[in-house]
Structure 1
Amino acid sequence: MTARGSAVLSYLLLSATALLAVAGIVLAVSRQAAGYFAVEAAIGLVSSLLGWFVTRRRPGNPVGPLLALLGFCPMLMAVSDMAVGSLPPLVEAIRTGIWMLWYVPPALLLLYFPDGLLPGPRWRWVSRGLIAVPAVFVVGAVFDPAAWPSGPPEVPWPIGPVALGVALAMLPLLLGLLVASAVSMVVRYRRTTDPVGRARIKWLALGAGLLPGTLLLCWFSYLLRGDSDLVMVGLTVTGVGIPAAATVAMLRHDLYDVDRALSATITYGLITTGLLAVYTVVAFAGGRLLGSDSATTAAAATAVCAVLLAPLRRRIQAPVDRRLYPVRRAALAAVDRLRVDARDGRARPEQLAEVLRGALRDPALRVGYRLPGADELVGADGGPLGAVPAADTVPVRLRGEEIGALVRGTTGSRELMRELADAIAFPVEVVRLRIDLARALRDVESSRARLLQAAYAERRRLERDLHDGAQQRLVSLGLAFRLAQRRPAPGELDGLLDHAVAELGTAVAELRRIANGLRPSSLDDGLAAALRGLVDTVPVPVTVSVEVAGVPEDVAITAYYVVSEAVANAVKHAAAGHIDVRVHDGGARLRVEVADDGRGGAVQAPGSGLSGLADRVAAAGGTLRLVSPAGRGTRIAAELPCAS
């Protein structure tokens, strides 16, 4: 079928369905049957509209026109029912035979779905039979005397009985054609290797599953209500559900996990059947003993069904999943097996991604772990996970906190990924804590090495400063005193003493400078005064907010150096226009924050001042956090244990 031909046919069927709907509404109002016809009109119009929409999106595929035909035929029969008694006799006779049109569009849809081609050349006879059998049946039904309200016309003797016999012979043929159409869908599914094609067939099967659901609803209606009123609800849902499922299959087959939906539908359908059977048996037995209207019987039947619900679901879910949803069952079983093996020491939790890839047959699947206080995801080895497409990422949460992510590869639906994300929450938590612990141990080892190197460097600096500074002054002072022992002239003695006093003052200043490098003397007046004195000479506006009381000496020294290093970096490297310093005592921890509005982009490179500062903070039992996005300033935050 050409694209233009399918578009024209769908449009004509939609227009004809709309015209029939208008005519039917007029007839229904005049006959006070508007409610019944409104349901029929809704089914027909929805199916025809969906058929036209599919034709627009998939031009040339006969599935669109078949969906439009699926809406037109019921509408035609509904309008003919509304007009019964006011039609010409021949049309009335034909009307009695067109009921087969209910079955022709669905059967043709099964034959040509989803690619618009038959499963094979032999299936052409089924397609032709679905057109010929209803036509022959209508012609034969015209010769049925009961089809003529005012009596049939005169027909030569052999023609009438023969035609009627031929019409009756069409009934088993139609049944065989319908069965063949259903078999064609099974054959097509088994031959199809394309996952998209298989998913589309499953969607159509899901819609067709509403038909037995209608029978269950009829059973339920007769059992609990004593009438069949709910059947119309089931027929309406089925009439809309089948074309809707076909439309989703053609346009958005990945909208939802069809395997999960199909498995759940069959599972709960079987559960409903079992519970209705149990309720029927208990109600019948109780009715024989206590009466059909006994409240005790109804309560007992309900209680039995409630008790059987949970075990029945467990017994049915497993075999249905094994047959219809094997991927889900395999993945969940693999996660459970890994949990047991990890507990017994036969496996490591870090093998989670490998286990899931094997169960889902998805070599591109990845599991990311979000470490505490970090923004990026890492792999099981602690390295960066790399680019993570948001559309294929499902977060893993535990107690409301995002602890990782499951990144889909080439297979698996988002619904399955969400279910697996819930199932792997505990292993992900274990792995991310192990990664964090291993990283912390590595940081401790490297920090210890850096602290030792810094201590050795500091000793060498002190030795050099003492040798080149205070030691030289003291040697010079000793020489001056040695000269004074020789009793020089009075004028020379005054000069020697003045020189000695000057050297002594210089030596004291040198020693004070060295001591200030070990512990700033400004801390004698408290941390707040020391920090304000520190920023007084800074050539950039600085806002200082200090709320502390009784901070321990070692904590105050560390906090002072955090502010000193952060402010120095902001002035030297960040081109900051303003610096904000905040120090707050939270009781158990002292929080120090230094933020600037500079160029940002700072990194904690090995051997840098920030790296040494992080080591100093870690040695005090605290943590240092650096946030420095490019062009958006820098914020350094340190938390120090404070037992004030």
Structure 2
Amino acid sequence: MERFTDAEWAFLGLSERRITGASVRQRHKRSQRWEGIPARSIKHPERVAIAMLVIFVAAQVAAALLGSANSTFSAESSSLLLGFAAFMVVGALIVAHRPDNAVGWIFSSIGLLSAAGGFAQEYAAYSFVTRPGSLPLPTLAAWLTTWFWFPLLAGILVFSILFFPTGRLLSRRWRGVAWTAGIGTATISVLASLKSTIKLQDHDFTLTNPIGVEWIGDVEKTFVGSILFIVLLATMASAFTSLGLRFRRARGEERQQLKLVTFASVLVVVSVIIDETVPLAELNDFFFGLVVALVPISAGVAILRYRLYDIDRIISRTLAYGALTAILGGGYLLAVLGLQSVLPLPEDSPLIVAVSTLGMVAAFGPLRTRIQHFVDRRFNRSRYDAEHTIADFAVRLRTETDLDSLAANLVGVVDRTMRPSTVSLWLRAG
């Protein structure tokens, strides 16, 4: 085999040493470290995933039983449980099927932290308030409640976003953001765990922290704590910036992954708006928990690549039916008010309700078709163009008689609608 000279290697911008197998493997390991892939693969990730799920379920069941005894179990807590359960289940699935993806471990940590924190809150309340002295180590449980929220929120708002969807950082320069978030979270968690007094959540009960430091105080109200919160907010903003850059640069499968989670995140924002405007507290709590659960579920679908390319159709249908619901609801209200003002009938007349309902039923079909076409034209352009290209070809197919022209048109339609890397047409002779 002919070998390049040193001058030729220099011209290529390489060295012979750099392309040896050992060097390539060494660089790959270094890239794994900074990109976030676990350095060692676990032999039985399925067993680890099952063990984490068992711990989560056991902690949540115990917390629910203690919460019932403490009279603190509510619709709000059950809605939060729904969201955290989604993080845990999806995280375990990713760990089992994609153990080299850091997102699975981050989601699992979020689920386990939520379970541990919720159990500790109810355990401490039961031991100090409901039945004082009935359980061992209540102070340890109360101490855990002082700091577990900080790594939990950092995992949700910073690390899961930084590493989604590949399980690696966007590039080497984002290591600083990850390290800053990690150090900031650890610092504020330590400070919170050292405050001199511990107050139980949902209870008017305070105890002395056995490892507390008098001068630290409540970290959320101190100057140092404010600085740390600003740092964490900056890392959160950087994480979202990283996600935006991923979306802008992504193509193909990764773009579909990001699009799916972005859609679920938008639903969370919409649910927050509904929660603030519609006075249905318990229903809103359940709806909010359900929508929050969609974020890790959508992330799991994206990472595990299950029916990933259906997301455009899902988004299109959601936008269309959301707009249709709003229009029909507004139209029904206007119809009722209009008929009440025109017809000499009582305001609660069943005739007015029946006429308004029939009008909305009659308008449903035409409105749905028009709105769906508008949404496809604006937000799902590729599908809209593909459908119209095929429809135009079907019209030409009925009138075209020249075989060569028809073959050229068919190849063009396939190329424009399916975007294959190559396309050719084989015709059997005769």
Distance 1:232 1:161, change over 3 A: closer
- Deviation digits for residues 310-343 of structure 1 (CA, Å, limit 9, x no counterpart): 7876676456535653321221121233355567
Equivalent position of 1:3 in the other structure = 41
CA–CA distance in 1 between the matches of 2:385 and 2:207?
67
CA contact (8 A) 1:10 1:65 kept: no
1:258 matches 2:311: yes
CA contact (8 A) 1:263 1:320 kept: yes
By how many angstroms is 1:58 displaced?
1.6
CA–CA distance in 2 between the matches of 1:111 and 1:305?
46
What are the residue-to-residue correspondences of 1:627-642 with 2, within 5 Å? none
1:355 matches 2:413: yes
Higher RCO (CA < 8 A, seq sep 6+): 2
1:196 matches 2:253: yes
Equivalent position of 1:617 in the other structure = none
What are the residue-to-residue correspondences of 1:151-300 with 2, within 5 Å? 164-193=222-251, 195-215=252-272, 218=275, 222=278, 226-254=279-307, 257-269=310-322, 278=330
CA contact (8 A) 2:267 2:291 kept: yes
By how many angstroms is 1:176 displaced?
3.8
Equivalent position of 1:111 in the other structure = 162
Equivalent position of 1:551 in the other structure = none
Equivalent position of 2:344 in the other structure = none
CA–CA distance in 1 between the matches of 2:221 and 2:74?
38
By how many angstroms is 1:253 displaced?
3.7
SS at match of 2:100: coil
Q: Which ranges of structure 2 fall in alignment gaps of 5 or more residues?
A: 1-37, 129-137, 342-346
CA–CA distance in 2 between the matches of 1:349 and 1:77?
68
Equivalent position of 1:95 in the other structure = 145
CA–CA distance in 1 between the matches of 2:144 and 2:156?
22
Which one has a bigger Cα radius of gyration?
Answer: 1
Identity of aligned residues (%): 21
By how many angstroms is 1:150 displaced?
3.5
Equivalent position of 2:93 in the other structure = 53
Q: Which ranges of structure 1 fall in alignment gaps of 5 or more residues?
A: 368-378, 385-438, 440-644
By how many angstroms is 1:4 displaced?
1.9
What are the residue-to-residue correspondences of 1:605-620 with 2, within 5 Å? none
CA contact (8 A) 1:267 1:313 kept: yes
SS at match of 1:119: coil
- Deviation digits for residues 186-241 of structure 1 (CA, Å, limit 9, x no counterpart): 21133234x23233333333443441353365368x2xxx4222223223323443
Distance 1:66 1:341, change over 3 A: same
1:121 matches 2:172: yes
SS at match of 2:254: helix
- Deviation digits for residues 47-85 of structure 1 (CA, Å, limit 9, x no counterpart): 323322322222222122122123223323433443463
CA–CA distance in 2 between the matches of 1:191 and 1:349?
38
Q: Which 10-residue stretch deviates more, 90-99 or 109-118?
A: 90-99
CA–CA distance in 2 between the matches of 1:273 and 1:137?
45
CA–CA distance in 2 between the matches of 1:169 and 1:272?
45
TM-score, normalization by structure 1: 0.45
What are the residue-to-residue correspondences of 1:412-431 with 2, within 5 Å? none
By how many angstroms is 1:24 displaced?
0.8
Name the aligned partner's letter for residue 104 of structure 1. A
Name the aligned partner's letter for residue 123 of structure 1. W
By how many angstroms is 1:18 displaced?
3.1
TM-score, normalization by structure 2: 0.63
CA–CA distance in 2 between the matches of 1:312 and 1:100?
48
Distance 1:129 1:325, change over 3 A: farther
Equivalent position of 2:7 in the other structure = none
CA contact (8 A) 1:214 1:235 kept: yes
Name the structure with the higher helix share. 2
What are the residue-to-residue correspondences of 1:38-77 with 2, within 5 Å? 41=81, 43-77=83-117
Name the structure with the higher strand share. 1
Query: Which of residues 51, 56, 75 in structure 2 aligns to 1:17?
Result: 56
CA–CA distance in 2 between the matches of 1:118 and 1:177?
14
RMSD of Structure 2 on Structure 1 (CA):
4.8
By how many angstroms is 1:254 displaced?
3.6
Query: Which of residues 29, 32, 41 in structure 1 aligns to 2:68?
Result: 29
By how many angstroms is 1:257 displaced?
1.6
